[in-house]
Structure 1
Amino acid sequence: MARFRFPPAASGFAAAGAVALAAAAWVVFPPSVAGQAVPARPALDLPLPWPAGGQATAEVQGLGSLGTHGERTPVPIASVTKVMTAYVVLKDHPLAPGDAGPRITVDQQAQDESTSAEESTAPVRAGRTIGQRDLLALMLIPSGNNVARLLARWDAGSQDAFVAKMNRAAADLGMTSTTYTGASGVEDSTTSTAEDQLKLAREVMKDEVVRSLVATPSLRVDGVPGAVVNTNTLLGRSGVIGLKTGSSTAAGGALMWAARTPGGALILGVVLHQNPGGTPSAGLQAALAASETLIAAIQQQLPAATR
């Protein structure tokens, strides 16, 4: 838990502030009973339009949980997996804002996988060198599975070794219902819950590089043909500033999202398992629509609820 420091002028209020912060921490990080996490109590019981199926959760930074709705069992999360991939890569190889990072050589495997019709990829060519930041962009913005695996091999030597890091990072964050089996999310065996993914969202949004990348609608990368377009079509609507989409037949549609209120508060949320069994594109559209409805309602109701 973060440590809070009170300036000298506020020392007279330190005790009261500590009590308030402890209460807020209880809301966001509730105690456990018999080793099991107790679901967070909503800080505000808003009548939100939660998705009819799947699972979803949301919180407001500095306020706490807005609740969790739907199933709480682990489900496939598809390319939302790449958020953890970015988290581990940046934990091992941190970047300063604006830093391009080390040049990484594209291997033959990443090029061969770039032509796959079975998954989302980025068109990279073997032998070219691309900066770490640009590779993170190619992974997070157009959701390049081949780039996720390339970054995993660069970081840990093999995807299997990198996956072990992913699972250790998940355990460190208290993501007790999460199992990663690949760096890209293409495997249906990578499963998690909305509540666990919200814990990750909290952490990655502390990184300015991640915040910048996931807020980018499109960009160009040297050596990659054409514009790289973000799969998160909610950017710029209802204050949305990121984070990451995911879709597959088993996962349906998924979205980890971040938005700002007009007053600047950060809202984080996760919507999973929308329209599973349908086409990935239909599932993604369902996740985007459900998330947009939820975000708009929070934006509308929050000001009156916090007066």
Structure 2
Amino acid sequence: MRRLLMFFLLAGTLAGCDAVPAVSGAAVPGVSLPWPAEGQAAVEVEGVGSLGVSGEQVPVPIASVTKVMTAYVILRRHPLRPGDDGPTIEVDRTAAEESYAFQESTVPLVEGRRIPLRRLLELMLVPSGNNAARLLARWDAGSQERFAERMNAAAARLGMARTRYTGASGTEDSTVSTAADQLKLATAAMRDPVFREVVAQVDTAVPGDARRLPNSNTLLGRHGVIGVKTGSGTAAGGNLVWASRVRGRLVLGVILGQAAGTDPVAGKAAVLAAGGKMSAAVEQWLTSAR
């Protein structure tokens, strides 16, 4: 470990990486990563510590990254084991009607159909179904408002002091957080084996529907990336929480507020590009260590 840390201290600037000057909180001096020029970000490596935090850590809308907390609360209250589908949940009229919501990320749900909890988690996290997230919230707490209270209680327990949840899906711009806070949540969520399995899936499907629904995180499988969640919106811009495994070490990173104020498509493209550069740089750095 000491040798690895000494390498980090002496490594200096990675070739081809343009660092943003406003980086703080690095536990390993001398590390230079291609931090995004806008928004905020945070990265840490298991067994090493923080690689830094960039941008002003002020609460901003996080869009569908919200669903990481939705899944965390559901799995804390209704634990699953790998291979366990869990209880079945009936699709209500609201979730079915929301399948056709305009300008929303939804999945095709049919009223009255019963879907296992594990599959609903997939439908929420993989293709980012907003209606699946809200259905899970109503099933667990009776209403989104009550479920949001549980989300905020979980955030408080995790020390996420600059985070406020107002819904389960992330469509509300009033749900806000910071990169540093989301890194705390990612650390906790990735301890759950079922969560890890779900966010690593390249696709999923609604039971009874042959269509495969791809993962919104197109970084999967590149630079050791094994999850976690994308999110985009006009006010939020592009947002990403990613996890990668390099040389046996878990890397966790968060990027928020890319191309904010433009449109969700541009925001998502911007954050995936930034995430690709960051995850590639960390992979290069760790694989070059002696």
Scaled by the length of structure 1, the TM-score of the pair is 0.85
**Structure 1 residue 219, shift from structure 2 partner:** 2.4
Aligned partner of 2:217 in structure 1 is 232
1:62: Cα distance to partner? 1.0
Correspondence 1:216 to 2:188? no
**Residues of 2 paired with 1:49 and 1:234: CA distance?**
17
Residue number in structure 1 paired with 2:115: 130
Give the corresponding residue for 1:70: 55
Question: Which letter maps to 1:267?
Answer: V
Matched, 1:300 2:281: no
Whole-angstrom CA distance in 2 between matches of 1:64 and 1:88:
26
Q: Separation in 1 of the partners of 2:168 and 2:30?
A: 36
Matched, 1:283 2:283: no
- 1:24 paired residue number: none
1:79-158 correspondence runs (5 A): 79-158=64-143
Please state if 1:247 is matched with 2:232. yes
Which residue identity lines up with residue 294 of structure 1 in the other structure? M
Measure the CA separation in 2 of the matches of 1:225 and 1:167: 37
CA distance in 2, matches of 1:44, 1:215: 31
Q: What is the match of residue 273 of structure 1?
A: 257
Q: Give the partner amino acid of 2:176.
A: T
Q: CA deviation at 1:235?
A: 0.4
Q: Which has the larger radius of gyration?
A: 1
Alignment-derived partner of residue 57 in structure 1: 42
1:147 partner letter: A
CA-CA distance at 1:226 after TM superposition: 0.7
Which sits farther off after the overlay, 43-52 or 119-128? 43-52
Q: Deviations over 1:225-262 (max 9, x none)?
A: 5112100000001111000000000000000000011x
Which residue is 2:241 aligned to? 256
Give the distance between the partners of 2:29 and 2:45, measured in 1 at CA: 10
Partner of 2:19: none
What code does the residue aligned with 1:130 have?
I
1:51-86 CA distances to partner (integer Å, 9 max, x unpaired)? 010001100011100000112111000000000000
- Following the alignment from structure 2 to structure 1, what is the Cα–Cα distance between the partners of residues 70 and 119? 14
Structure 2: distance between partners of 1:71 and 1:224: 44
- In structure 2, the gaps of 5 or more residues are 1-23
Match of 1:200, as an amino acid? L
Q: Which amino acid aligns with 1:82?
A: K
Cα separation, partners in 2 of 1:221 and 1:112, compared to 1, 3 Å:
closer
Unaligned runs of 5+ in 1: 1-38
Runs of 4+ in 1 over 3 A off after TM superposition: none
Task: Give the letter aligned to residue 141 of structure 1.
Answer: V
Deviation larger for 45-54 or 177-186: 45-54
**Separation in 1, partners of 2:100, 2:216:** 18
Q: For 1:146 and 1:219, locate their aligned partners in 2 and report how far apart those are by CA, in whole Å.
A: 15
Per-residue CA deviation, residues 126-159 of structure 1 (Å, 9 max, x unaligned), is 0000000000000000000011000000001111
Amino acid at match of 1:291: G
What is the RMSD of the two structures over their aligned residues, measured on CA atoms?
1.5
Q: TM-score, normalised by structure 2?
A: 0.90
Verify the 8 A CA contact 2:123 2:204 in the aligned structure 1: no
The alpha-carbon deviation at position 264 of structure 1 amounts to: 1.4
Give, in angstroms, the shift of residue 174 of structure 1: 0.2
| 2:252 counterpart SS class | strand
Distance 2:172 2:209 in 1: 26
Deviation at 1:220, TM superposition (A): 2.8
